[in-house]
Amino acid sequence: MKTTLYTLAIAGSLCLPAVAAEQATAVRQTDLKAKPFTDAETVASLAERTRVEVLKRETSWIEVKSAPNTGWVKMLSLRFDPPANAAAASASNPFLMSIGKGGSGSVATTGVRGLKEEQLINPQPNPAALQQMQGNAVSSEDAAKFAASGGLQSQAVKYVAAGGAK
C-alpha cells in the first residue's frame, strides 16, 4: 500500500508543470550589490536592458542572477516580465484582469499610521495642530539662505500645460 502511494506521489509530481524562474530587465544602469544594502560592496554593474533571473526578494531589494554574477539590486531598477500563465489566470479572476488596465478596474490603496478608523470616518478640525504646523513655516528669504548655505542653486521649472506636456 505504501509503495503504491509513493509511486502515485512521484508520478503526480512529474505531471505538474515546471515552474519557470521569474525574469526581469534592468530599466537603468545599476550596481549589483553583494548584500541588500546601499553601502554594500558592488559586485558588478548591470547595464540598462540587462536580462536577469530573479532569485529572492527582501524588502525593496531583489537578488538576481546575471551570468556570471549574482547580487542584489533595488526593486525599482527592474521591470518584471509578466508570468507565463498571466493570461489564463486573469481570465478566471476579475481582480487580476483589472491590474494594469486602468479605467474602472483600477485599485488604489493608501496606508495611514497613527489614526484610528473613526478619525478617518468623522474628521474634526484641529486648530492646535494647524497652528503648530504653521509655526514650522519659514519665509522664502530664509529658505533661500538655507539652500545657499548648502550649495544649492535655484532653478526655474516650467509648469506642465493643461492636458499634459506638448
**Which pLDDT score is estimated for 109?**
60
Written as nine digits, the cell of 15 is: 505531471
What whole-number distance in Å separates Cα of residue 70 and Cα of residue 33?
Answer: 9
pLDDT at 119: 79
End-to-end CA distance of the chain: 74
Which pLDDT score is estimated for 86? 55
pLDDT tens-place string over residues 11-43 = 444 444 444 578 999 999 999 999 999 999 999
DSSP calls for 131-156? HHHHHT---HHHHHHHHHHTT-----
Highest CATH level, class, for 23-80: mainly beta
Least confident among 57-61, 85-89, 156-160, 162-166:
85-89
Residue-range domain boundaries for the chain: 23-80
pLDDT at 136 over 50: yes
Tens of pLDDT, residues 67-115: 899 999 999 999 988 876 655 544 544 444 444 444 444 555 666 677 7
Where would I find the H helices in 33-112? 86-92, 94-98
Q: What is the pLDDT of residue 102?
A: 45
Residue with cell 538655507: 146
